[in-house]
Amino acid sequence: MYELEDGKFKLEYGSVNEGMISVASGKGGVGKSTITVNLAVSLSELGKKVGIIDADIRGFSIPRILGLTEEPEGIDDKKLKPPVAKGIKVMSMGSLVQEEDPIIWRAPMLHGILEQFMTEVQWGELDYLLFDLPPGTGDMPLNIMQQLPDSEIVIVTTPQIAATNVAGRIGKMADKLECETLGVVENMSYYQCSDCGNKEYIFGQGGGKAMAERLETELLGELPLLPAVREDSDQGKSIILEEPESDVSKEFISIAKKIMDKHL
């Protein structure tokens, strides 16, 4: 699906010059897709050219979160032009079917879609290509990681032990596949009262850091549980663009900078 030459990923119709990053989680419901989108927006705000492949074929949500309404444009019989939202090029099943329609396909067909997204799309020159992986360590995420052996992994978890134990399996799977783990993002780290500023650690504290230490990687950031992030995602907005001076926006930018520094 690609060739690695001099540290750059050569695609059929484009290139990725700095990194291919798979955003993974041990389970659903931890905010993986929201983090994928806001990480992409943060990288874009820092001057990078970014694309997203929504590899969670059955559970696609990237178009909704990114506010994507356009469909891919057919250039010829073998090439698609990806739609763009907030400066991010995107390919997702959500752009090809109705949002509420189920994808009732068997695994070989699902794997074929990922290959099409990689080889039949006019990506052009990108700095980063992000993959929103299906949650867990089942056949789909395993096969995707096997197809992308040079991609780097960012693991999303919430702080509680039940979540970090499951998320830790992703790191161990990455090790077995010899995929580098860039780090851990702890989501829903705390709830901060909008009136008094007091932080409440609803799901416990320190789970992401402890997991990062076990995996011998870095805790990239800790993101709060905020209604504004959820509301923006539901409306196809990004907190990075809506409230750039907020603490959570600054944390997303910090995470993006840490990832960029790893590719210097």
Binding residue numbers for ATP: 26-33
For residues 68 and 90, is the Cβ–Cβ distance under 8 A? yes
Binding-site annotation, residues: 26-33
CB 129 within 8 A of CB 36: no
Phi, psi of 27 (to 5 degrees): -150, 165
Beta-strand ranges (E) seen in 107-187 are 124-132, 152-157, 181-186
Q: How many CB atoms lie within 10 A of CB 111?
A: 18
Listing DSSP states for 35-94 in one string gives HHHHHHHHHHHTT--EEEE---STT--HHHHHT--PPPEEEETTEEEPPEETTEEEE-GG
- Which residues, other chains included, contact 117 with Cβ-Cβ below 8 Å and sequence gap of 6+? 53, 55, 91
**Six token digits for residue 198:** 């007091």
Q: Cβ(220)–Cβ(255) under 8 Å?
A: yes
